Amino acid sequence: MSERADSRSEHAKAKGLSKPRPGEPASPGDGRDETEPESGHGGLRRVVSLVPSLTEAIASVDAGALVGVTDWCTHPADLDVRRVRGTKNPDTKAIIALAPDVVITNKEENRELDVRRLRDAGVEVWVSVIETVPQAIDAMEELFDDVLRWQRPAWLAQARELWCGEPMVARARVAVPIWRDPWMVVGRNTFTGDLLARAGLVNVFTDQPDRYPSLDLAVIDGAGADAVLLPDEPYVFTADDGPEAFTTPTELVSGRLITWYGPSLVEAHASLRTLLP
């Protein structure tokens, strides 16, 4: 089975989603505005997204279809939508009251408990499984084709062309902390690790048994990395908070560009290919 086909089968197992109901009529008291206009693309028009990067992807086609997003959905910056708390503690009652056609989630970002609560209430939930860049591209193609039933955005084809061919030649070894006190780093089988490897930046902690291991600072600093990449999310590393802890050279990087999948993938390719030349 091809990597692309295998990825799609994983999403099918995880999501447990029947075909969306784009033509389902509104019923009195279900939270829908029966006078709201139909979207021009003819697909679903009431979407809640609990995944920040997928919120940005959806908004790139039709921001008006989003009726609820998390507090962490920061892109696009002008998105004016009902907030339903965080990715790990969504307000499921508020989501149910919004009467969405579908709720967009991710196996890593969101809790199985919340997915189960929403499904038990009769809400359709789509769950993506993403640990590599090709899986991310496949998931977003499925999202637009089969779930939302919208036309794919142009950036998606560009992202596949940029990222899903031959990886760049490895040119540097890196460590990527994502938290401090305790220190945690990107480990094995992660989207971030795969993205960096495809950009020629090899994660020194891919042999760790955990995906996001907690390690002593001395272990991180002594791992033999050419540079420690310090992103601004989930922990907000800054020039005054992070670099001072290491003897290894450090680079401040955009967390969005190394952890998000969506329109940012195009920008990430241009940025990462010139990082640590």
pLDDT single digits (tens) 190-233: 999 999 999 999 999 999 999 999 999 999 999 999 999 999 99
Judge whether residue 261 has pLDDT over 70.
yes
Q: How confident is the model at residue 43 (pLDDT cuts 50, 70, 90)?
A: confident
Tell me, what's the pLDDT at 31?
A: 45
CATH number of 172-272, picked from 3.40.50.2000, 3.40.50.1980, 3.30.70.360, 3.30.70.20: 3.40.50.1980
Kindly report the average pLDDT of the chain as a whole number.
Answer: 89
Q: Strand 227-231 to strand 250-253: parallel, antiparallel, or no bridges (unpaired)? A: parallel
| Of 201, 175, 167, 190, the residue nearest 259 (C-alpha) | 190
Q: Which CATH class is domain 3-163?
A: alpha beta
Task: Summarize the confidence of residues 252-263 as an average pLDDT.
Answer: 97
Round to whole Å and give the CA distance between 164 and 134. 6
The 3-state DSSP class for residue 204 equals coil
Task: Summarize the confidence of residues 35-64 as an average pLDDT.
Answer: 85
Tell me, what's the pLDDT at 40?
A: 55
Tell me, what's the pLDDT at 41?
A: 67
CB atoms within 10 A of CB 197: 18
Tell me, what's the pLDDT at 9?
A: 42
Least confident segment among 8-12, 42-46, 109-113: 8-12
- The residue behind tokens 């990597």 is 3
In the chain, where does the domain assigned CATH 3.40.50.1980 lie?
Answer: 3-163, 172-272
